[in-house]
Amino acid sequence: MAAQGALKEIIYERIGILLSLAEQALRNKDEAHAKRYVFLARKLSTRYNCRLSKKEKMRFCRKCGMPSVVGLNTAVRLRKRTKTAEYGCSCGAKAGFKY
C-alpha cells in the first residue's frame, strides 16, 4: 500500500509539471507542444486513476485541450448574481466555476 501512495504522489507531481510546461509552451507561441503536454497530463490522470484538482481542471480547456492563459487565449467574466467566474476559451467553449 505504501508503494501505491508514493506512486500517486509522483503522478500528481508529473501532472503539475506537465501543466506548467504547457503554459510556458503557449506563452512561447508553441501550440502543438502545449496541447501535447495537456494531453499527456490528462492521460496520466486517467491511467493511474488520479483525480485532477479544481485548480488543475481550470488550467486547460476541455473542448480543445489548450492550456488556459488569461490574456492570451482566455477571457474571464465575473457573474455577480450567480457568483461564478466564466472562462471563455478562444475556441468558443465556456467553463464556469463558483467563487
C-alpha–C-alpha distance, residues 90 and 93, integer Å: 7
**pTM of the predicted model, to two decimals?**
0.87
- Domain total in the chain: 1
Could you count the other beta carbons within 10 Å of the beta carbon of residue 4? 9
Read off the pLDDT of residues 30-69 as tens digits, 9 standing for 90 and up: 999 999 999 999 999 999 999 999 999 999 999 999 999 9
Domain around 16: 2-98
Confidence of residue 22 (pLDDT cuts 50, 70, 90): very high
Q: In which residue are the cell numbers 501512495 written?
A: 5
